[in-house]
Homo-oligomer: A and B are copies of this chain.
Amino acid sequence: MDQNAPETNDIPDVVVRRLPIYARTLDYLLTEGKSSVSSQELGERINVTAAQIRKDLSWFGEFGKQGIGYDVEKLLGHINRILGLTVNWPVVLVGLVYLGQAIARYAGFREKGLHIVALFDADPTKAGTILNGLPIQGDEEIPRTVATHGVKLAIVAVPATKAQEVVDQLIAAGVRGILNYAPIIVQAPEGVWVRHIDPVSLLHSMTYYLAREQAT
């Protein structure tokens, strides 16, 4: 839905989206000291059927052994390679009101190979302020900074009214993947990926079920 993948790619996007969740779960299993896991057990942890997991992973080769399951560390390594996570990825963050500030301070990105290398905000009174070790730059610095760092990924946490403009600016500067927190579906040309974080829509998809229950 928020996906503009070029059509040259055969693997369904829904599968690509599940891989990081498998990786996260394998990470937990490792910290729990587990060295092997069945597709059944992996599936139970993330509410996916064992068959689905086997089918998803079969896109990328033969990983498991019948009756033994998956080697946790090996499978995690495989998935991380598939996801391009053998290197760290520089990321820029635009929009530093409350949510953006929380994102800038969140350690979980860096732990997972996503290094926020620059912060931008349109508010000139914020320029030069240091946030979590990085100076806040004006939006006009986006082109130069994105080019200097060869940044391909951006997180957008600006208001809805500014989101499309910022996204256009990022794409013009060379960004190819955008995680958008603004409550608007932003448009991007083919070859640029956009993912939306939309808590209101997720909550509304639950009120649907709750309302139905109350009605019966």
Residues of A within 8 A of B (CB): 1-5, 9, 13, 16-21, 23-25, 28, 45-48, 82-85, 89, 91, 98-99, 101-103, 105-106, 108-109, 112-114, 152-153, 155, 176-177, 179, 183-185, 187, 193, 195, 197-214
Contacts and interface: CB of A to CB of B under 8 A. Distances in A.
Nearest to A81: B211
A201 B19 CA distance: 8
A17 B210 contact: no
Contacts of A114: 200, 203-204
A1 B99 contact: no
Contacts of A3: 47
B17 A201 contact: yes
B183 A108 contact: yes
Given A85-B207, A208-B82, A199 B200 contact: no
Contact of A179 (B1, B28, B202, B214): B202
Contacts of A212: 9, 84
